[in-house]
Structure 1
Amino acid sequence: MSTARRHICVIAPDEESLRALRRQPPDVTVNEALMSGPYLLRTPLEPNWGLLRWESVATELLLQSELPYGTPVYPPTYSPTSAPTPETAAAAPPRSLSKPPSGSGTEATPQEPEYRHPQPEQLHEAESTVLAYGRDIAQVSSLLRAGLSVLVVAEKPVVPHLWREMATRAALRAEVLEDAEELQDAEEAARDQPPPDLIPAPQNPRQRLLARLRELVRGLNDDQVLVVQHLDLLAGGSDGSLSAEAREVTELLHGAPERVMLAFAAPSLSVPEVLAERFSTRVSITGVPRTVWFRDDDETQPLGRALVTVGEAARFSRYDPVEFYKHVAGMNPVLLRQAMRYAMSVHRDHAEPTARDLYGTIRAFKAQMSSNFEVPDVSFDDIAGYNEVKDHIERAIDIVTGHHRLPAQYDHLRTKLIPRGFIFHGPPGTGKTLFAKAIANRMNATILVVSGPEVMGTYVGESERNVREIFAEARRNAPSVVVFDEFDSIASRRSDHSDGGSRAGNAVVAQILTEMDGFRPEVPTLVIGTTNRLNLIDEALLRPSRFETISIDVPNDEARLKMIGLHAGKFGIDVSGGVDELIAAALKGRNGDDIHAVFRDAFVAAHFQNPPVPPTPEQLGQIVGQLQRTRRQQRRSSRL
Structure 2
Amino acid sequence: MTRVLAESELPVDLSPFAAVDAAYPTEIARCYEALRRRLAVLIECEKELAPYVYKSLRDRLKVDGTRCLYLDGRAAADLPPPPQGAGLVQTMIHQIREIVRGAVGERIVVLPHLDILGTSMGGGGLGAEARELIPLLYENPEVLWLGFKDPAFPLPPPIENLFPHREQIFGVPRDRLRYLITQRESRKLGRGFDPYALYKHVSGVNAVRLRRLLNSLTGEDYPADVSPAIAQLRSATLSTDVELPQVDLDKDIGGYGPVKDRLKAEILHILSAKDLLSDATQIARVESLLPRGMIFWGPPGTGKTLFAKAMATSLGAAVTIVSGPELKSKWVGESEENLRNVFIKARKSAPAVIIFDELDSFAGARTNSNSSSGVEHSMVNQLLTEMDGFRKEELVFVVGTTNFAESLDPALLRPGRFEFALHI
* Cα distance between partner residues in 1 of 2:165 and 2:362: 34
Shift of 1:163: 0.5
* Cα distance between partner residues in 2 of 1:272 and 1:244: 13
1:279 aligns with 2:163: yes
1:317 aligns with 2:208: no
1:177 aligns with 2:71: yes
Give the corresponding residue for 2:48: 157
Give the match's secondary structure for 1:322. Answer: helix
* Cα distance between partner residues in 2 of 1:399 and 1:331: 25
Cα 1:391/1:222, change in 2 over 3 Å:
farther
Cα 1:385/1:339, change in 2 over 3 Å:
farther
Shift of 1:400: 5.5
Cα 1:414/1:235, change in 2 over 3 Å:
farther
1:528 aligns with 2:399: yes
Indicate which of 205, 217, 234 corresponds to 1:331. Answer: 205
Give the corresponding residue for 2:78: none
1:453 aligns with 2:298: no
Q: Which runs of 5+ in 2 are unaligned?
A: 76-80
* Cα distance between partner residues in 1 of 2:96 and 2:268: 50
CA RMSD of aligned residues (A): 3.2
Identity %: 38
Shift of 1:420: 2.0
Cα 1:111/1:535, change in 2 over 3 Å:
closer
Q: Which runs of 5+ in 1 are unaligned?
A: 1-107, 184-194, 293-302, 553-640
What TM-score does the superposition give when structure 2 sets the normalisation length? 0.85
* Cα distance between partner residues in 1 of 2:142 and 2:370: 43
Give the corresponding residue for 2:342: 470
1:385 aligns with 2:263: no
* Cα distance between partner residues in 2 of 1:360 and 1:240: 41
Contact 1:426–1:531, Cα closer than 8 Å, also in 2: yes
* Cα distance between partner residues in 2 of 1:391 and 1:220: 69
Contact 1:120–1:308, Cα closer than 8 Å, also in 2: yes
1:542 aligns with 2:416: no
* Cα distance between partner residues in 2 of 1:497 and 1:204: 50
Shift of 1:122: 3.8
* Cα distance between partner residues in 2 of 1:109 and 1:313: 17
Give the match's secondary structure for 1:157. Answer: coil
Shift of 1:350: 9.9
Contact 1:360–1:444, Cα closer than 8 Å, also in 2: no
* Cα distance between partner residues in 2 of 1:349 and 1:358: 10
Indicate which of 142, 148, 163 corresponds to 2:39. Answer: 148
1:256 aligns with 2:166: no
* Cα distance between partner residues in 2 of 1:350 and 1:310: 11
Give the match's secondary structure for 2:379. Answer: helix
1:419 aligns with 2:291: yes
Give the corresponding residue for 2:355: 483
Give the corresponding residue for 1:231: 114
Contact 2:3–2:280, Cα closer than 8 Å, also in 1: no
* Cα distance between partner residues in 2 of 1:450 and 1:379: 22
Cα 1:142/1:409, change in 2 over 3 Å:
farther
Deviating more after overlay: 141-150 vs 348-357: 348-357
1:376 aligns with 2:245: yes
Cα 1:522/1:350, change in 2 over 3 Å:
closer
* Cα distance between partner residues in 2 of 1:518 and 1:241: 27
Indicate which of 134, 146, 154 corresponds to 1:270. Answer: 154
* Cα distance between partner residues in 2 of 1:417 and 1:340: 31
* Cα distance between partner residues in 2 of 1:143 and 1:351: 45
Give the match's secondary structure for 1:282. Answer: strand
* Cα distance between partner residues in 2 of 1:442 and 1:265: 36
Name the aligned partner's letter for residue 69 of structure 2. E
Contact 2:323–2:357, Cα closer than 8 Å, also in 1: yes
Name the aligned partner's letter for residue 93 of structure 2. L
Structure ranking higher on relative contact order (CA contacts 8 Å, 6+ apart): 2
Contact 1:257–1:278, Cα closer than 8 Å, also in 2: no
Q: Which deviations, in whole Å up to 9, do the C-alpha atoms of 1:582-633 show, x marking residues without a partner? A: xxxxxxxxxxxxxxxxxxxxxxxxxxxxxxxxxxxxxxxxxxxxxxxxxxxx
Indicate which of 160, 164, 173 corresponds to 1:289. Answer: 173
Matches of residues 11-50 of structure 1 in structure 2 within 5 Å? none
Contact 1:422–1:549, Cα closer than 8 Å, also in 2: yes
Shift of 1:428: 3.1
Cα 1:291/1:220, change in 2 over 3 Å:
farther
Shift of 1:131: 1.8
Name the aligned partner's letter for residue 329 of structure 1. S
Give the match's secondary structure for 1:380. Answer: coil
Name the aligned partner's letter for residue 236 of structure 2. F
